[in-house]
């Protein structure tokens, strides 16, 4: 009697195990978006005077961050609450809409079906509180000036024309957001003139934050007619916030003055008889060094120029901390190089030695350039120059090395303004083998001979590889890979790209890209890759 019972139990266990492993079968996956079957008011209704809007769909729905995704133009300043009821949603606005105005409610992907979260497509409702619908339209596209890429989800606004327009404090009257292709369209707007401005609007407050957000604008006022032109806007970061001292860092050996933004250059004038060595550091600060003699408090007048070429005059008092011991502990004296140690060098090269303190003494007889440990050239016999603050040395040299280029800096050959020296230093670089690299050459072709050009080669991450100033270029020693080629219209001929200034109506300097990436191969040269362009 035992065996049949055991068999029955085994069968039952096997049955339940099999039952647990089989997943229930369902119907075909829902891939359809919810369809709007009715709205109150109906689309393109006129003389609408209510403050409640209802939408009815053909299936159960949910909302997804509707407070962010629902775009109402013109900007209504009319708070609302919403209520879901299965297949419908009701929006209750606190106030009635402004009279004689056409409104557009664009829901984006804020309403989705309940089962699979498929968003309702092209869900938009237009109505007028007056007797007719506005028919104006403005459309176009946005691109990043520096990368030539479309910008997604940027705010494109139409602003009423005013002498006091300030986009950091005023929201647009009409607005839209760009799609993944950078395209925007603002419809059903009043037929009149506006200022067209686009901002990155990362925090989605509809106000321009110059510190962090890109901006683009049309030079002139535009007219929003029924047949608008296509507006192409370029966007760039343009930090026009006033330059100021963000904080100071007093120490025993040095005194740091840090600014709220990067600076391009600085002029330093000392009051009275004082003078202190100084240097720029990290792009946004000046460091003064405690080198005697000087007053207990040293006063300096600074003229600081930012990346927008805006200069600001500041007075700064410098007071070092008193030493805690008889002997002051100095920061180590260090050296960095460009190219970095270990990077391959051509036999003809430009080299940068960057010190973390201004240099008081450099012995050009003791510092030597070595070629394969066979020949030695003293720095004194090479072409070199200091930057203004004597912490960066630029060297132009040629070497006869076949395998290795070396720099030898004996101890005591470089002495800082604090009197300390580098330890004995040996820097090594392999010699570039020409057959491992490619070359690229061509011409910028433009009928406007008054314009200066900067031709740049960039890798796929938009990192600058090399540049030439002028209408012809010849890039050598390019590692194999894919690259972008672009030309900058250097309108002010300062040798760099300058961003725009919306408050002065100045556009960023134009950048023209070769449409396709270039494939550079080892031991291969691309010639006559010409950039044919014209200024706008």
Query: How far does Cα 527 stand from its chain's mean position?
Result: 32
What's the rounded Cα separation, in Å, for the pair 344 and 277?
Answer: 34
Read off the pLDDT of each residue in 212-221 and give the average, rounded to a whole number. 94
- Sort 3 into a burial class: Cβ within 10 Å, 0-12 / 13-18 / 19+: exposed
Higher per-residue confidence, 29 vs 455: 455
Q: Does position 26 have pLDDT exceeding 60, yes or no?
A: no
pLDDT of residue 32: 86
Shared domain for 442 and 516, answered yes or no, is yes
pLDDT of residue 9: 33
Residue 194 is part of a domain; what is its CATH number? 2.60.40.10
Which residue, 103, 128, 153, sits at the end of a domain?
A: 128
Read off the pLDDT of each residue in 517-532 and give the average, rounded to a whole number. 94
- The neighbour count for residue 305, using CB atoms within 10 Å, is 15
Shared domain for 210 and 144, answered yes or no, is yes
Binning pLDDT at 50, 70 and 90, where does residue 536 land? low
Lowest mean pLDDT among 285-294, 445-454, 475-484: 445-454
pLDDT of residue 448: 73
Shared domain for 143 and 113, answered yes or no, is no
CB 453 within 8 A of CB 490: yes
Which residue, 386, 404, 432, sits at the end of a domain?
A: 432
Q: Does position 10 have pLDDT exceeding 50, yes or no?
A: no
Read off the pLDDT of each residue in 312-320 and give the average, rounded to a whole number. 96
Read off the pLDDT of residues 163-173 as tens digits, 9 standing for 90 and up. 889 999 999 99
Query: Looking at the domain assignment, is residue 402 inside a domain?
Result: yes
Shared domain for 160 and 110, answered yes or no, is no
Binning pLDDT at 50, 70 and 90, where does residue 67 land? confident
pLDDT of residue 29: 62
CB 36 within 8 A of CB 118: no
Q: Does position 22 have pLDDT exceeding 70, yes or no?
A: no
Shared domain for 153 and 209, answered yes or no, is yes
Query: Looking at the domain assignment, is residue 11 inside a domain?
Result: no
What's the rounded Cα separation, in Å, for the pair 51 and 523?
Answer: 72
Shared domain for 503 and 483, answered yes or no, is yes
Query: Looking at the domain assignment, is residue 78 inside a domain?
Result: yes
Shared domain for 118 and 142, answered yes or no, is no
What's the rounded Cα separation, in Å, for the pair 110 and 119?
Answer: 7
Residue 113 is part of a domain; what is its CATH number? 2.60.40.1220
Q: Is 148 left (phi over 0), alpha (psi -120 to 50) or beta?
A: left
Query: Looking at the domain assignment, is residue 29 inside a domain?
Result: no
Between vectors from CA 261 to CA 257 and to CA 267, what angle results, nearest 5°? Answer: 55
Q: Supply the DSSP symbol for 385.
A: E
Q: Does position 533 have pLDDT exceeding 50, yes or no?
A: yes
Read off the pLDDT of residues 266-290 as tens digits, 9 standing for 90 and up. 999 998 888 999 999 999 999 999 9
Backbone CA torsion sign across 253, 259, 260, 266: negative
Shared domain for 459 and 528, answered yes or no, is yes
Domain assignment of residue 252, given as a range = 245-318
Which residue, 72, 98, 128, sits at the end of a domain?
A: 128
492: Cα within 13 Å, side-chain hemisphere: 12
- Sort 383 into a burial class: Cβ within 10 Å, 0-12 / 13-18 / 19+: exposed
What's the rounded Cα separation, in Å, for the pair 364 and 382?
Answer: 9
Average pLDDT, the chain: 90
Cα Rg, the chain, nearest whole Å = 33
SS3 80: strand
Between vectors from CA 211 to CA 208 and to CA 213, what angle results, nearest 5°? Answer: 50
CB 432 within 8 A of CB 517: no
Read off the pLDDT of residues 116-161 as tens digits, 9 standing for 90 and up. 999 998 899 999 999 999 999 999 999 999 999 999 999 999 999 9
Query: Looking at the domain assignment, is residue 328 inside a domain?
Result: no
SS (H, E, C) 306-374: ECCCCEEEEEEEECCCCCCCCCCCCCCCCEEEECCCCCCECCEEEEEEEECCCEEEECCCCCEEEECCC
Binning pLDDT at 50, 70 and 90, where does residue 534 land? low
What's the rounded Cα separation, in Å, for the pair 404 and 372?
Answer: 5
Shared domain for 311 and 341, answered yes or no, is no
Q: Which residue, among 370, 392, 368, has the nearest Cα to 379 in the 3D structure?
A: 368
DSSP element (H, E) containing 15: helix 2-21
Q: Which residue, among 396, 344, 404, has the nearest Cα to 374 in the 3D structure?
A: 404
Q: Helix-strand-coil percent breakdown of the chain, rounded to 5?
A: 5, 45, 50
Read off the pLDDT of each residue in 450-472 and give the average, rounded to a whole number. 93
pLDDT of residue 535: 54
- Helix and strand numbers (H, E) in the chain are 2, 43
Query: Looking at the domain assignment, is residue 511 inside a domain?
Result: yes
Q: Does position 17 have pLDDT exceeding 60, yes or no?
A: no
Query: Looking at the domain assignment, is residue 326 inside a domain?
Result: no
What's the rounded Cα separation, in Å, for the pair 89 and 448?
Answer: 59
Instruction: Say what percent of the chain tops pLDDT 70.
Output: 93
Domain tally for the chain? Answer: 5
Binning pLDDT at 50, 70 and 90, where does residue 77 land? confident
Q: Which residue, among 323, 420, 427, has the nearest Cα to 370 in the 3D structure?
A: 427
Query: Looking at the domain assignment, is residue 27 inside a domain?
Result: no
What's the rounded Cα separation, in Å, for the pair 157 and 189?
Answer: 12
Shared domain for 450 and 396, answered yes or no, is no
pLDDT of residue 137: 92
Residue 522 is part of a domain; what is its CATH number? 2.60.40.1120
SS (H, E, C) 23-79: CCCCCCCCCCCCCEEEEECCCCECCCCCCEEEEEECCCEEECCHHHHCEEECCCCCC
Shared domain for 423 and 455, answered yes or no, is no
Q: Does position 18 have pLDDT exceeding 50, yes or no?
A: no
What's the rounded Cα separation, in Å, for the pair 39 and 163?
Answer: 41
Shared domain for 416 and 463, answered yes or no, is no
What's the rounded Cα separation, in Å, for the pair 488 and 509?
Answer: 7
């Amino acid at each position: 009697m035992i065996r049949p019972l055991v068999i029955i139990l085994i069968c039952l266990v096997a049955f339940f195990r099999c039952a647990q492993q089989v997943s229930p079968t369902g119907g075909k996956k829902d891939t359809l978006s919810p369809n709007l079957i009715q709205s109150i008011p109906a689309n393109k209704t006129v003389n609408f005077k209510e403050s409640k809007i209802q939408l009815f769909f053909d299936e159960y729905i949910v909302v997804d961050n509707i407070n962010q995704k629902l775009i109402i133009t013109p900007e209504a300043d009319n708070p609302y609450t919403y209520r879901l009821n299965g297949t419908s949603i009701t929006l209750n606005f606190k106030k009635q809409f402004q009279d004689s105005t056409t409104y557009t409610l664009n829901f984006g992907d804020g309403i989705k079906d309940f089962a699979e979260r498929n968003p309702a497509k092209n869900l938009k409702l237009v109505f007028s509180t007056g007797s007719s619908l506005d028919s104006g339209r403005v459309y176009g596209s946005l691109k990043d000036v520096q990368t030539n890429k479309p910008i997604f989800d940027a705010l494109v606004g139409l602003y009423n024309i005013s002498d006091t327009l300030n986009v950091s404090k005023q929201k647009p009257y009409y607005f839209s957001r760009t799609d993944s292709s950078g395209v925007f369209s603002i419809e059903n707007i009043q037929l009149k003139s506006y200022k067209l401005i686009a901002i990155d609007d990362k925090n989605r407050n509809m106000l321009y934050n110059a510190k962090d957000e890109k901006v683009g604008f049309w030079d002139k006022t535009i007219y929003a007619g029924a047949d608008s032109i296509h507006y192409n806007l370029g966007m760039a970061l343009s930090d026009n916030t006033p330059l100021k001292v963000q904080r100071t860092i007093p120490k025993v050996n040095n005194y740091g003055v840090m600014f709220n933004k990067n600076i391009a250059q600085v002029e330093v004038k000392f009051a009275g008889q004082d003078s202190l060595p100084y240097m720029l550091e990290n792009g946004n600060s000046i460091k003064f060094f405690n080198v005697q003699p000087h007053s207990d408090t040293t006063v300096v007048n600074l003229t600081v120029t930012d990346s927008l070429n805006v200069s600001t005059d500041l007075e700064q008092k410098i007071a070092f901390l008193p030493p805690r011991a008889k002997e002051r502990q100095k920061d180590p004296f260090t050296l960095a190089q460009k190219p970095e140690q270990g990077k391959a060098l051509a036999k003809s090269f430009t080299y940068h030695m960057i010190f973390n303190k201004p240099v008081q003494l450099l012995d050009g007889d003791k510092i030597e350039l070595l070629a394969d440990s066979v020949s030695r050239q003293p720095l004194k016999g090479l072409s070199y120059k200091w930057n203004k603050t004597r912490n960066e040395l630029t060297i132009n040299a040629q070497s006869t090395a076949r395998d290795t280029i070396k720099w030898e800096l004996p101890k005591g050959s470089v002495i800082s303004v604090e009197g300390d020296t580098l330890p004995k230093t040996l820097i090594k670089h392999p010699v570039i083998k020409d057959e491992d690299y490619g070359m690229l050459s061509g011409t910028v072709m433009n009928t406007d001979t008054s314009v200066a050009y900067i031709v740049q080669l960039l890798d796929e991450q938009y990192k600058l590889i090399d540049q030439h100033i002028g209408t012809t270029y010849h890039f050598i020693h390019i590692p194999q890979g894919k690259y972008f080629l672009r030309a900058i219209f250097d309108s002010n001929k300062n040798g760099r790209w300058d961003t725009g200034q919306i408050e002065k109506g100045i556009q960023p300097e134009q950048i023209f890209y070769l449409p396709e990436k270039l494939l550079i191969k080892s031991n291969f040269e691309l010639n006559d890759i010409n950039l044919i362009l014209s200024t706008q």
